[in-house]
Amino acid sequence: MKPATYTALSDWLYARLGLSLGHDKAYLVESRVAPVLRRHGIASMDVLGAQLRRGLPEDVAREICGAMTANESAFFRDIRPYAHFARVALPALLRARAGTRRLRIWNAAAGGGQEAYSIAMLLHEARAALEGWAVEIVATDIGDEVLRRAREGVYTHFEIQRGLPARLMVRHFIRQEDRWQASPELRAAIRFGAFNLMHDPRPLGVFDAVFCRYALVQLEAASREAISGRIAQILAGDGFLYLGEGEVARPALFAPVPGEKGIFTHAPRVPGGVAPSLRP
């Protein structure tokens, strides 16, 4: 890949994703993007660079973005956020929403679907308390390939063992030779769709809890702050935001939950304060 191609692709990824790449990431970019090129019959990275100047087809653009933002995923990763959701957040939301009996959860940057299915399994465990409720899990990502895989819900034996208790595996997954597929009921509990975190999420509606874990760590500070601002606009006033351990939400907008890592609520509002921005 020519240096000019790497520069053009880095600039394109920054504009599209807020992804800031250093000068030494050419090998990483090429290793992630090369399979996309093969699927679409693009001869080389330099040919891709020439196409960038003319404008990429949207399906190719989404696949490249999906490849560059793909994160490691596992069921119930870092179990503490899920324990907090089940033991603290969900009971609080059930009390607060008793009048409407409606609950909405957004799993942003859903990747291969393990996080969304983990949330769905937690809600299934609470099904008695949720009897008669309208519950919606919206799971989004930017890449067509990861969304296809997430919708199918098929995992290798290695993937299914990573964080998934045996009792939940037997209850919610069907064995298919050397793979396991999420049950039709579990898959039906989640609405998967395409969404870029650099865009305005307000058309998605308001959510009671947002899981956006390990999606911000690759981004530069201005993009992270802008995404925090966007999430603040669609998270209910008494809602909960779950980030990855070590990730920090915009302090002017979110306050950490005491004793927890990566879990936030809205910061107390200052009278006359400035509304969160949708742009970096």
Any idea where the domains of the chain sit in the sequence?
Answer: 3-69, 80-266
> Tell me, which fold does domain 80-266 have in CATH?
Rossmann fold (3.40.50)
| pLDDT for the residue numbered 270 | 57
pLDDT at position 279: 47
What residues have CB less than 8 Å from 2, skipping those under 6 apart? 46, 49
Question: What would the pLDDT profile of 193-210 be if each residue is shown by its tens digit?
Answer: 999 999 999 999 999 999
Predicted local confidence at residue 280, as pLDDT: 43
Q: What is the pLDDT along the chain (280 residues), one digit of tens a residue?
A: 888 988 889 888 888 888 777 777 888 888 889 888 998 899 999 999 888 888 888 888 888 888 887 667 899 999 999 999 999 999 999 999 999 999 999 999 898 999 999 999 999 999 999 999 999 999 999 888 889 999 999 999 999 988 999 999 999 999 998 999 999 999 999 999 999 999 999 999 999 999 999 988 878 888 889 999 999 999 999 999 999 988 989 899 999 999 999 999 999 875 555 445 444 4
Strands 179-182 and 154-156: antiparallel
- Domain 3-69 listed as CATH 1.10.3470: no
- In DSSP notation, 101-155 reads -EEEEEE-S-TTSHHHHHHHHHHHHTTTTTTT-EEEEEEEES-HHHHHHHHHTEE
Residues in the chain: 280
Question: What sign results for the dihedral spanned by CA atoms 209, 100, 194, 74?
Answer: positive
Q: Is the dihedral of CA 123, 124, 129, 131 positive or negative?
A: positive
Q: Which two tokens stand for residue 227?
A: 């995404």
Tokens, residue 32: 């992630």
Pairing of β 190-194 and β 134-141: parallel
Per-residue model confidence (pLDDT) at position 185: 97
Both tokens of 243, joined, read: 């980030």
Token pair 């093969």 in the structure block, residue: 38
